[in-house]
Structure 1
Amino acid sequence: MQNRILDMVQNIKTAKCKLAQLVLNMEMKLKDCENGLLWFLNQNIQALI
């Protein structure tokens, strides 16, 4: 019984770690999109001026 509880705790810790990595990955991708969008807008504003 105790082993099963320890396994469950370990699984939760692993899941938390994977989730944290996923969130970080998504944040980095969003930042890339944001930077790309800003660059694109900047280019177009320069062209208009």
Structure 2
Amino acid sequence: MLEQTGLKVSSRYIAQIKKKCGLDVGENFNLPKSKNARQPQCTPEKKEA
């Protein structure tokens, strides 16, 4: 993504967008310890990229 768009996009944001589009996402092995853990959301610029 950095080479194509100039934006650094984490794999967390990529997984969020894949899930939103209905694409297959791998299983997460690093789960949060509490049920109400805060998860950052992807910015609109990175969603468009």
TM range (shorter): under 0.3
Of structures 1 and 2, the larger Rg is shown by 1
TM-score by length of 1: 0.27
Greater helix share, structure number? 1
Highest RCO, 1 vs 2 (Cα 8 Å, sep ≥ 6): 2
